[in-house]
Amino acid sequence: MALKTFIEAIRDTMFEEMRRDESVIVLGEDVGKKGGVFLATDGLWAEFGDDRVIDTPLTESLIVGASIGAAVNGLRPLAEIQFADFIFPAFNQILSEAARMRYRSNNGFGVPMTIRAPYGGGVHGALYHSQSVEAFFTHIPGLKVVIPSTPYDAKGLLRSSIRDDDPVLFFEHKKMYRSVRGDVPDTDYTVPLGRAAITHPGTRMTVVAYGLMAHYALEAADIVAEEGISVEVVDLRTLRPLDKETLLNSVRKTGKCLVAYEDNRFGGYGAEIAAIVAEEAFDYLDGPVTRIAGPDVPGVPYNHVLEDWFMVNPEKIADGIRRLAAY
């Protein structure tokens, strides 16, 4: 067991999986000698060389398209998109090829590839380095979408993603890379895809979150606990497939549900959570399913004051908890 930062857990996993399985390759922009813009792949090129750690042109459609071809032909590519904001040139490759390959080939071909991408705001990254893009991909059958919140989960979920026989999008909140630390076992453990975690038990309300928002939800739960409001926090960890059992069991126990997510409110991932709870746990609810999310503006502003206005934080979640608890 060792104390690791979020990004150290991710880097360690890539080293270990590449040593374990020669079919695992890494490709992306500046992932080689430079080690990536966040140094997530630092040291991989020195150990594994050009054949397995491949610097690509600044062409996301090529990164994903080449990964799909490699995956169909027996490799396990681990593709890095430098920022999730830049993933859209590869959207057609992900949607039309990777996600549908198994279906359209009548189960003849899988696409065992993982796409890593840092997402999220609060780092003064402005319009093109702060987006939350997960909702676009959770809509597509055939894709798995993973967003860990702790170093332990990051390592276990990334290992499961690399070993999975279908395409996985693995989003990492960039604000957590060096600010979040936690104990990580030295063993070859995995965290199963499609399993949520109850990180804070409670009785009066369920707060659903993932990624950085899972940390903020825990902070908000501690704030309102001093006011006598008992909150249960569900960290989804995997957005697709969704662990509906854990989600619905929690809501049926508490009777109220608040969803916190950083993306624009309208059409965000939290809207799907709200719909599922309303449809499948309606008889247990004693208040409206509530969302705390980013405003419906085109992007995260650069100005610090406006960035803070956009971002969800523990205080905003706590205020939402208070309003829903008083309903």
- In order of their start, the domains of the chain are 2-184 (3.40.50.970), 197-325 (3.40.50.920)
The band of 125, judged by pLDDT with boundaries at 50, 70 and 90, is very high
Mean pLDDT (whole number) for 191-212: 98
State the pLDDT at residue 45. 98
Q: Identify the sign of the CA torsion 67, 78, 271, 176.
A: negative
CA distances from 190 to 24, 152, 183, 193, 295 (A): 17, 9, 15, 9, 36
State the pLDDT at residue 33. 96
Burial class (CB in 10 A: 0-12, 13-18, 19+), 263: buried
The whole-chain average pLDDT of the chain stands at 97
State the pLDDT at residue 32. 97
Q: What percent of the chain has pLDDT over 90?
A: 100
**Whose structure tokens read 């071909």?**
109
State the pLDDT at residue 93. 98
**pTM for this entry:** 0.97
Kind and range of the H or E run holding 145: strand 144-146
Mean pLDDT (whole number) for 30-59: 97
Judged by DSSP in three states, 51 sits in coil
Mean pLDDT (whole number) for 175-179: 97
User: Per the structure block, which two tokens stand in for 269?
Assistant: 């991932």
Mean pLDDT (whole number) for 312-321: 98
Cα 98 from Cα 224, distance rounded (Å): 44
Mean pLDDT (whole number) for 101-125: 96
Cα 115 from Cα 63, distance rounded (Å): 10
State the pLDDT at residue 236. 98
State the pLDDT at residue 73. 97
- What are the residue numbers of the active site? 129
The band of 202, judged by pLDDT with boundaries at 50, 70 and 90, is very high
State the pLDDT at residue 24. 98
